[in-house]
């Protein structure tokens, strides 16, 4: 079952979504294959540290975070990937590394790769390594209010 906080949030706002159960997988590419979701629709959540503060970088599974671009966009000099040890306690209702891209539920700012705005639907970890939620990108954007910027590279 998707993490309770996420499910309750989506249900509260009557957002249509589909929960897909798949065999255990740990990378976004593996999850897409296991859940039979096109790779371009599978989203990964990367936790970054921006001047010591956690933020989410949300991008297509086949892309990577360009930290130089993220530094330029934020205007902050210290931008790096967070370690699992740094963020594991920030998502107590999720398995480590399976947090959904809803930073607003955890008081964490969210940066979304501009390329995702071109997708009709997105799919992402639902708090476990065996479940994915699929929903309309526009619904996601309305709920999360992410900062949409270009920081993802293929």
pLDDT < 50: residue spans in the chain: none
For residue 2, the model assigns a pLDDT of: 59
Secondary structure of residue 122 in the 3-state scheme = strand
- The structural architecture, per CATH, of the domain 4-153 is Alpha-Beta Complex (3.90)
In the chain, where are the structural domains located? 4-153
Q: Give the model confidence (pLDDT) of 18-37 as tens digits.
A: 998 876 767 777 776 777 77
State how far the Cα of 87 lies from the Cα of 90, in Å rounded to an integer: 5
Q: Where are the beta strands (DSSP E) in 1-85?
A: 17-21, 43-50, 53-60, 64-65, 79-81
For residue 77, the model assigns a pLDDT of: 87
For residue 112, the model assigns a pLDDT of: 98
For residue 117, the model assigns a pLDDT of: 95
How many residues are there in the chain?
154
CA trace torsion 63, 110, 144, 32 (10° rounding): 30
Do the strands 64-65 and 79-81 form a parallel or antiparallel pair, or are they unpaired? Answer: unpaired
């Amino acid at each position: 079952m998707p993490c309770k906080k996420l499910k309750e949030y989506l249900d509260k706002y009557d957002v249509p979504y589909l929960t897909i159960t798949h065999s255990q997988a740990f990378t976004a590419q593996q999850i897409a294959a296991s859940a039979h979701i096109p790779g371009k629709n599978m989203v990964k959540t990367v936790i970054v540290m921006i001047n010591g503060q956690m933020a989410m970088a949300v991008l297509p599974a086949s892309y990577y975070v360009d930290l130089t671009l993220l530094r330029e966009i934020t205007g902050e000099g210290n931008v790096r990937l967070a370690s699992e040890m740094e963020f594991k306690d920030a998502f107590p209702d999720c398995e480590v590394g399976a947090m959904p891209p809803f930073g607003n539920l955890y008081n964490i700012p969210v940066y979304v790769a501009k390329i995702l705005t071109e997708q009709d639907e997105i799919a992402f970890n639902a708090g476990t390594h065996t479940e994915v939620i699929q929903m309309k990108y526009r619904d996601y954007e309305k709920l999360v209010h992410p900062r949409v910027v270009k920081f993802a590279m293929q």
